[in-house]
Amino acid sequence: MSPQRSGSTRSGGANALLYMLAGLGCLALLVVVLLVGAAISMRPGQAPAVPATPVASVVTPTGGPPSAWYQVYFTQPKNPDDGVHTGGLDEIVAAGIGQAQQTLDVVTFEFDSLPLANALIAAHKRGVRVRFVMDSENIDTDAYRQITKGGIPVVTDDRNAFTHSKFIVIDGQRVWTGSWNLKDSDTYRNNNNLILIESPELAANYTHEFEKMFVKRQFGPAKDSDTPYPQLTIQGTRIENYFAPQDHVADHIVQVIQKAQSSIRFLAFSFTNDQIGKAMVARAQAGVNVKGVFETRGGDTAASEYGRMKKAGLDVRLDGNPYTMHDKVIVVDESIVITGSFNFTAQADTSNDENILIIYQPDIAALYLAEFDKIYRQAKP
C-alpha cells in the first residue's frame, strides 16, 4: 500500500483496464474465459455470469466499462471448504502487485497468504521499493517469515491496541482497501469486500498515513489529523477518506446516518458502538427502512447493538456463514457506501489504526447492496 503524493487526478482508464486484465490473467483458464466474456458482453443492469466453480466474485462496475476508475470485489466463501484455494482475491491482488513499477506499501492486521508473500518478494527482487506494516499479534506465520527473510523491511505495531487497517497502494496511483486481510481464510472462507481505486490524491492520503507508521513509528492517538485530501472528487464522484483514531471516524459515520432519508443497510463483523447504533435506531423511528446483518460470533451478546436494535423493532439478523462474516459496510439511501477496515466499535474509533471511505456513488452502492442482499438472505432472522 504505497500511496504517494501527487498533484493532479488523471482518468486512469487505460491503466485500470490493464490492471484488471492482468489480475484476471492469473485465474484458472475456465474462470478467465467466463469473467472476460462477462466483462465484454455485459450491459448496464445485466448481471454477470455465475462461475462454474467457487472463486472470488469479480464485480464489474454497474453502468460503466471495465476501464472505470474503480473495481469492486467480494469473496465467495466456500461452505464446506474443499481445500482448493485458488482463483481468489489473493491471486487477483498478487497480479496487481506484479504490475508495480516503483513503490508498494502494505498495511494489514493479519498475513498468512503465501501467494501474496511470493508476489511481494518478486516485486522487491525486481527493484520495486516494498515496505510493510502489520500488527505484531499476528506475525507468527510462514508468509511473514518469508518476506522478512526475503529482505522486505517491516514495521510492527506492538501496542495493546491494533493496527487493524488493510490497504495497499501501488506506484502512488492505485489504492486497494476494504475489510479483507492478506489471509487465506479471509479469501476463501470469510465474507469480505475490497475496492480498487485509481487516484493519485487518494494514494497520497494513504501514503501519508503509511509513513506515519513506517517512518515515524506513530500509531493510534499519537498521529495527527492531517490527511492531505480528506474530501476529493474522482470523475464526478465525491469521496471522503478518514483514518482512526485521529479523524474521529464514528462522528463522520453518524453524520451520514443522520441524513438518511429512505434506507440504511449494514453488514457488521463487530458492532458495539452506541453512538452509531443509536443514530440508526433514531432514523428507523423516523421512518427510514433499516436492515442489517451481524456476525454471529459476538453478535448476540450484551455488548452488541444487535439486541438493542432487535428490541427497537429493527430488521436485523445474525449471519449464516459457518465461518465468519467479516464485512464492515453501511449503505445509505442506495447511493452512499461506507467501507474500510473500521469495525463499529469504540476501540476502532479511539485506539486502533483504521481507515474508511465514504463514497457518494449510486452505481457503487448498487454493488454493495447486491452483496448485502445475498448475505441477508443467508442470515438467520
In order along its 381 residues, the chain shows pLDDT tens digits of 333 333 333 344 444 433 444 444 443 433 333 333 333 333 333 333 333 333 334 433 333 455 589 999 999 999 999 999 999 999 999 999 999 999 999 999 999 999 999 999 999 999 999 999 999 999 999 999 999 999 999 999 999 999 999 999 999 999 999 999 999 999 999 999 999 999 999 999 999 999 999 999 999 999 999 999 999 999 999 999 999 999 999 999 999 999 999 999 999 999 999 999 999 999 999 999 999 999 999 998 999 999 999 999 999 999 999 999 999 999 999 999 999 999 999 999 999 999 999 999 999 999 999 999 999 999 998
Residue 223 belongs to a domain: no
Number of domains present in the structure of the chain: 2
Determine which one of 186, 328, 349, 353 is catalytic: 328
73 and 126 belong to one structural domain: yes
Residue 4 belongs to a domain: no
241 and 183 belong to one structural domain: no
User: In this predicted structure, what is the pLDDT of residue 68?
Assistant: 82
Told to judge if 164 belongs to the known catalytic residues of this protein, a careful annotator would answer no
Provide the domain limits for residue 43.
13-214
Residue 84 is given by DSSP the state -
Residue 225 belongs to a domain: no
22 and 171 belong to one structural domain: yes
User: In this predicted structure, what is the pLDDT of residue 65?
Assistant: 54
Residue 358 CA: distances (Å) to CA of 194, 216, 239, 271? 14, 27, 6, 18
Amino acid at 42: M
With DSSP H G I counted as helix, E B as strand and the rest as coil, what are the percentages for the chain, rounded to 5?
35, 25, 40
Cell 474443499 sits at which residue?
82
* Bridge partners, residue 170, by sequence: 104, 174
Nearest alpha carbon to residue 105 among 212, 233, 222, 239: 212
32 and 104 belong to one structural domain: yes
Alpha-carbon gap, residue 347 to 158, rounded angstroms:
16
Residue 136 belongs to a domain: yes
User: In this predicted structure, what is the pLDDT of residue 26?
Assistant: 40
255 and 210 belong to one structural domain: no
Residue 89 belongs to a domain: yes
Alpha-carbon gap, residue 223 to 298, rounded angstroms:
30
**For residue 89, how many other CB atoms are within 10 A of its CB?**
28
Told to judge if 326 belongs to the known catalytic residues of this protein, a careful annotator would answer yes
* Bridge partners, residue 294, by sequence: 268, 318
Out of 171, 186, 214, pick the residue that ends a domain. Answer: 214
5, 172 contact by CB (below 8 A):
yes
Alpha-carbon gap, residue 354 to 81, rounded angstroms:
30
Out of 168, 186, 214, pick the residue that ends a domain. Answer: 214
Nine-digit cell string for 185: 481464510
CATH code assigned at 249: 3.30.870.10
Determine which one of 105, 326, 327, 349 is catalytic: 326
User: In this predicted structure, what is the pLDDT of residue 300?
Assistant: 87
63 and 125 belong to one structural domain: yes
Q: Which phi and psi (to 5°) does residue 334 adopt? A: 55, 20
First to last CA, the chain: 38
210 and 303 belong to one structural domain: no
294 and 333 belong to one structural domain: yes
Told to judge if 333 belongs to the known catalytic residues of this protein, a careful annotator would answer yes
Out of 184, 214, 244, pick the residue that ends a domain. Answer: 214
150 and 240 belong to one structural domain: no
| pTM for the structure as a whole | 0.84
Residue 276 belongs to a domain: yes
42 and 169 belong to one structural domain: yes
Residue 137 belongs to a domain: yes
102 and 207 belong to one structural domain: yes
Alpha-carbon gap, residue 306 to 312, rounded angstroms:
10
Residue 221 belongs to a domain: no
234 and 293 belong to one structural domain: yes
Determine which one of 81, 274, 315, 333 is catalytic: 333
Nine-digit cell string for 87: 482463483
User: In this predicted structure, what is the pLDDT of residue 2?
Assistant: 34
Q: Which phi and psi (to 5°) does residue 350 adopt? A: -115, -15
